[in-house]
Amino acid sequence: MAFAFLTLLIVLTIIPAAYAQQTSLLRVVVLSEEDGNPLVGSNVVLYLPGGERLLYNCVTNSDGFCEIRNIDANREYELRISYIGFAAHWQKLNFEKGERKTLRIDLEPEVGEINEFTVQGNREITTGEVGIRRIGNEDVARIPTPGVDGDLVSYIQTVPGVVSTGDRGGDLYIRGGTPEQNKILVDNLPVIKPFHISNMFSAFSEEVVQNAEMYAGGFGAEYSGATSSVIDINLRPGNMRNFSGSGAVSPYLVSLQLEGPVKTDRQSILFTARTSAIEEVAPSLIGKEVPIQFSDIIGRYTIQEDNISCNITGILTEDSGEVVPDRQVVHSWTNSVLGARCLGYDPRFEYPIEISVGYTGFENKEGTTATTERYSAIRQFYVNTNLKEKPFGIPVNYGFGVNLRTYDIKLDEQFTNYTSLDRVVPVINVFLSVPWKPNNKWAFQPGLTSQISLDTPVSFEPRLRMSWQPDGTNRQQLSFAAGRYVQFMSGVSDQRDIGTVFTVLQPINSGDPLPSSLHGIVGYQQKIGNAFIANVEGYVKDHKNIPVSKWEPEARLQIETALADGFSYGFDVRFRYSNYPFFVSSGYGWSVVEYEAVSGDLGAWIEEPVFKYYPAHDQRHKLNTVIGYQFAGFEANMRWELGSGKPYTRVFGFDLSVRVPAEDVVDDPGQVRTLYSRPFGERLPYYHRLDVSLNRKFSISGGWSLSAETGVINAYNRNNVFNYDLNTLQRVNQTPLFPYLSVKLSKN
């Protein structure tokens, strides 16, 4: 199967040379005249003169690029390019037979009423919105965060189906999946855990995010190596025309940002750095210790030449602190990323070519301030190529890549009999998808992904996305997605104790079954007017061979795993109303997550032969409402969240462990052990929280400006429980009422 798949990919690279189209081709790069940055989602259309008939159209991607193929030659066309908030571009074009044109178009910002015409463009995904949440930086900015700029992870946590353990830990569970079953990409560069130890922040602030797409399931064949979800983030390039910078201070963190052209309109740099201040500020501000520290640095070098666009990106994050204060257990993790993503659309290329290459490293530790007791790391070197062809008139997207992974594990023997692992695992991935739109109502995208490694079976992962638009527009849309998904790695943690976020990342051993899942999602979307959108989705995920740490009645991480099967299902309902100056978004999610495994594999003290349980990320109900209003230069935002309690494991008791006859009970009373009751047998209470903010930007002479934001996290000071600590037997609450005032000084 794998040989046939690789052969097909090779054939696809040869066919186009023999069957090159003799029709004409238009490639367009749309940029902002203000800063030279790409405008994502611009409408590019070709009309007959006079605008009587729309003939061709496309929508720009994250590079501001799109292309229109199979244009009939020897005819005059009218090119129109539009983007909300910018003046439209009009231009007449003529094509000779087989001619390939490449245009760079700057759009000027437009102040006042915008007469925008609507075009149903073919985006990268034409098969409906099911399972997808598209995120712009304006969405991120609306979520109250104790800093002037919003943060991506704060927004993601408002999405129905996304669960976090609380306000710290940096882990996200998406529609029943665990953190290691998610795949996070930054400009096609994988990042393991870019979320900070405070769950209000990630490495991606509003100021650096261009857009993002969260695939809660049913993602296409171009994504491999994840069995639950994908978060695909695009960072913005630096300003291509002017130097600018900013500095911000808040009770939670301080930040610095610099950007500007290296070569005007062609090359730019962007640099941001942030570090937390909450550990020093919290005692005087809220009267309690918050023993956490985090920081992140992002650097970006962008090249936009006539026929190529490249982004070279470096990311460094560091987190450390006590997830549960007073336990005196320090958790820490780091991410280091360096890579490049290039899109080539030279006239010599029949189709654009995208190549990504780079390095990703992730380390996480747990121990005391003096000693590291547990350590796990994964390092990846990778190269990926994405291509497009149209053999025999059929559009085909395909690609392949190589990922060389190195795993390094060291565990203190007091936690497990397994103490170390050092292993290198190469993985080859290939994919093929066929976006087919027979008419303006139906769209299909079947696909196939395969992963190949030296000591594991070849994966076979068929995918399908489809949509139906009854009236031929996206005013109403019924869509469906399904597929099989496989991973060649796993993460092991003790889910009974949410006070620890240490995870052992390890490869799948030779002969062991691969973790896999089946997804099925159906969704309906309705637009009413230009301001209101309603969306409802139902989903099912069937996970197989989930490695879970073997349980013992005492608190102890086991690297040895049992295999569990997981089944999650639920539905989401979302409403969105946006009509200046008002904005309202509300989403409700209901879900069930259930695991089952052979009790003898999990732990001997469980009586029933097959143990079924609801894991710690099973949350029945979640409701989020975000409201925004702009007035007199101010912007007010509010977020209210309600969530049902998640399962936890109650402590049965304590005893002293003595190894007889090696230890003498007279001289050594033994080591204190915490004994568990039935795993996940209890549930935490409901929680709810209100966050509010008010911000305004003030212009200062000489191109300087000052932005200020004041707000409150947990405005009515509810005592939401984080967990009942197993070691101190104390209730640990989430963030109490937290007022803040943040300021940001910018120079344009």
> What is the rounded average pLDDT of the residues 314-324?
92
Most confident region among 347-356, 451-460, 587-596, 607-616 by mean pLDDT: 587-596
Question: Is 84 or 124 the better-scoring residue by pLDDT?
Answer: 84
- The least confident of 75-79, 186-190, 267-271, 276-280 is 75-79
Whether residue 673 is predicted with pLDDT greater than 90 in this model: the reply is no
Q: What is the pLDDT of residues 458-510, one digit of tens each?
A: 999 999 999 999 988 778 999 999 999 999 998 888 766 666 788 888 898 88
Separation of CA 202 from chain center: 11
Structure confidence at residue 618 (pLDDT): 94
**Phi and psi angles of residue 180, each rounded to the nearest 5 degrees, phi first:** -75, -10
Residues 63-78, mean pLDDT to the nearest whole number: 86
pLDDT of residue 124: 47
Residue 454 pLDDT grade (very low, low, confident, very high; cuts 50, 70, 90): confident
The rounded percent of the chain whose pLDDT value lies above 70 is: 87
- Confidence class for position 116, pLDDT limits 50, 70, 90: very low
Question: Number of helices (H) and strands (E), helices first, in the chain?
Answer: 5, 45
* pLDDT recorded at residue 552: 64
Higher pLDDT, 474 or 156: 156
**Amino acid letter, 346:** D
6-10, 260-264, 368-372, 522-526: which has the minimum mean pLDDT?
6-10
300, pLDDT greater than 90:
yes
Q: What is the 3-state secondary structure (H, E, C) of 563-590?
A: EEEEEEEEEEEEEEEEECCEEEEEEEEE
Predicted local confidence at residue 118, as pLDDT = 38
**pLDDT at position 721, please?**
87
E strands along 489-549, which residues? 489-492, 504-507, 516-528, 532-549
Output the pLDDT for position 504: 87
Tokens encoding 661:
């006859």
413-425 pLDDT, tens per residue? 554 555 577 888 9
Round the average pLDDT of the chain to a whole number and report it: 86
Q: How far apart are CA 193 and CA 182, in angstroms?
A: 10
- The confidence score (pLDDT) of residue 16 equals 46
At residue 121, the pLDDT reads: 37
* Mean pLDDT, rounded, for 255-267: 95
Q: Does position 5 have pLDDT exceeding 60, yes or no?
A: no
> Between residues 328 and 233, which one has the greater pLDDT?
233
pLDDT for the residue 672: 58
The answer to whether residues 623 and 591 touch, using CB atoms and an 8 Å cutoff, is: no
Residue 535's nearest CA partner among 131, 3, 1 is: 131
Confidence of residue 383 (pLDDT cuts 50, 70, 90): very high
Low-confidence winner among 44-53, 150-159, 229-238, 464-473 (lowest mean pLDDT): 44-53
Reported confidence tier of residue 726, pLDDT bands at 50, 70, 90: low
Classify burial at 702, counting beta carbons within 10 Å of its beta carbon; exposed 0-12, middle 13-18, buried 19 or more.
Answer: exposed
128 pLDDT more than 90? no
How much of the chain, in percent, has pLDDT values that exceed 90?
54
Q: How far is 617 from 501, CA to CA, in rounded Å?
A: 13
In the predicted model, is pLDDT for residue 113 greater than 50? no
Confidence of residue 368 (pLDDT cuts 50, 70, 90): confident
Q: How confident is the model at residue 15 (pLDDT cuts 50, 70, 90)?
A: very low
Q: Does residue 570 have a pLDDT over 80?
A: yes
Model confidence at 184, in pLDDT bands (50, 70, 90)?
very high
Give the model's pLDDT for residue 471.
86
CA–CA dist 285, 283 (Å, integer):
6
Mean pLDDT of 555-563: 65
Rounded to two decimals, the pTM is: 0.91
The answer for residues whose C-beta is within 8 angstroms of residue 587's C-beta and 6 or more apart is 158, 159, 160, 572, 573, 574, 575, 623, 624
pLDDT at residue 52 tops 70: no
Strands of 347-475, DSSP E: 353-367, 372-389, 396-411, 420-433, 442-453, 461-468
Over range 355-374, report the average pLDDT: 89
**Which of 85, 110, 105 shows the shortest CA–CA distance to 93?**
105
